[in-house]
């Protein structure tokens, strides 16, 4: 298992626990106050912690590890694109986790969410660009 | 459940069908997608060079049990309008499942043969 896959999978495990912790907070409805703050946690944040934080990180990590080799010299393609995918996805999700409750409280004008969207898009493109040539016969 | 819910958009089905939405969402997201990824991850993560090669079985069985009990409590609970404590208990069971799974899987996120 290459180092980047370990980062993806360990991050996935952390997001998984955090996602289901937010699920407890949201047991009463589609939004919940975050204890000790003036912010509200919305249902979409919970969904994205599960689908992006857990599922997508795990899929990216396992795909980077197990897809057919690119070349003998660079079996997993570009490490730089792999790390860009990791940072984009996870930094973007972290900004969403912070930015969405702040946006709901009316304290910010969405800059964090725009940055979050851009980073996640960048991460997804980096993953696709690196993975596409590896979708082939072994 | 998904078929019934979609059917309500095209045919006059009883109003109680709409109440299945909570169970439908919990079962699809946690019961299906999350559970499948947990099972496959447990299967393919690098094994230990000693027995038991995937580590102790107790935490992973606990995770399986807690996750499924959690889906039933939270999904069915919300769909039948059970007290909020039922849904909270279900979500807590799911959280404990995640903690048990993450604790058991974490040491197996490693290079092969170590």
Instruction: Measure B95 CA to nearest chain A CA, in Å.
Output: 5
Give the H/E segment covering residue A124. helix A111-131
Tell me: ipTM over 0.90: no
Average pLDDT, chain A: 93
Helix (H, G, I), strand (E, B) or coil at A68: coil
Q: At residue A83, does pLDDT exceed 80?
A: yes
Cα–Cα dist B97/B42, whole Å: 13
Enumerate the residues of chain A whose CB falls inside 8 A of the CB of residue B105: 9, 13
Neighbours of A52 (CB within 10 A): 21
Whole-number Cα distances in Å, B106 to A39, A94, A131, B99:
32, 21, 25, 10
Enumerate the residues of chain A whose CB falls inside 8 A of the CB of residue B84: 27-28
Tens digit of each residue's pLDDT (9 = 90 or more) over B11-36: 888 888 989 999 999 999 999 999 99
Confidence band, pLDDT 50/70/90 cuts, at residue B91 = very high
Q: At residue B78, does pLDDT exceed 90?
A: yes
Q: How far apart are the first and last CA of chain A?
A: 18
Residue B104 structure tokens? 């058991």
A positions 10-49 inside 8 Å of B (CB): 10, 13-14, 16-17, 19-21, 23-24, 26-28, 47
Nearest CA in chain B to A16: B98
Enumerate the residues of chain A whose CB falls inside 8 A of the CB of residue B46: 1
What average pLDDT does the segment A58-76 reach? 94
What average pLDDT does the segment A22-38 reach? 89
Q: At residue A42, does pLDDT exceed 80?
A: yes
Strand partners, B34: none
Q: What is the pLDDT of residue A37?
A: 86
Q: At residue B113, does pLDDT exceed 70?
A: no
Enumerate the residues of chain B whose CB falls inside 8 A of the CB of residue A23: 74, 91, 94-95
A24 contacts B101? CB cut-off 8 A: no
Confidence band, pLDDT 50/70/90 cuts, at residue B9 = confident
Cα–Cα dist B22/B5, whole Å: 11
Contact (Cβ atoms closer than 8 angstroms) between residue A78 and residue B57: no
Q: At residue B45, does pLDDT exceed 90?
A: yes
Q: What is the pLDDT of residue A31?
A: 87
Query: What is the DSSP secondary structure assignment for residue A2, as one 8-state letter?
Result: -
Global pTM value = 0.91
What average pLDDT does the segment B44-56 reach? 92
For chain B, give the percent of residues with pLDDT over 90. 77
Q: What is the pLDDT of residue A30?
A: 83
């Amino acid at each position: 298992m290459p180092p980047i896959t370990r980062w993806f999978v360990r991050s996935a495990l952390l997001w998984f626990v955090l996602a289901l912790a937010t699920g407890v907070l949201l047991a009463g409805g589609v939004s919940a106050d975050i204890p000790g703050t003036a912010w509200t946690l919305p249902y979409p944040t919970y969904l994205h912690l599960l689908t992006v934080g857990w599922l997508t990180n795990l899929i990216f990590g396992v795909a980077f590890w197990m897809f057919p080799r690119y070349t003998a010299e660079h079996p997993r393609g570009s490490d730089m694109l792999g790390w860009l995918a990791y940072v984009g996805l996870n930094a973007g999700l972290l900004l969403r986790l912070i930015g969405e409750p702040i946006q709901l409280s009316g304290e910010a004008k969405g800059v964090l969410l725009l940055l979050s969207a851009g980073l996640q898009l960048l991460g997804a493109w980096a993953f696709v660009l690196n993975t596409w040539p590896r979708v082939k016969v072994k | 459940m998904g078929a019934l819910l979609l059917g309500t958009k095209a045919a006059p089905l009883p109003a109680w069908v709409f109440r299945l939405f909570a169970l439908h969402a919990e079962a699809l997201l946690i019961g299906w997608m999350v559970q499948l990824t947990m099972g496959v991850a447990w299967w393919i993560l690098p094994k230990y060079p000693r027995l038991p090669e995937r580590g102790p079985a107790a935490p992973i069985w606990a995770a399986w049990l807690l996750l499924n009990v959690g889906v039933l409590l939270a999904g069915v609970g919300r769909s039948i309008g059970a007290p909020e404590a039922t849904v909270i208990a279900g979500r807590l069971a799911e959280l404990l499942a995640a903690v048990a799974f993450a604790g058991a899987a974490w040491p197996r996120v490693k290079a092969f043969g170590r």
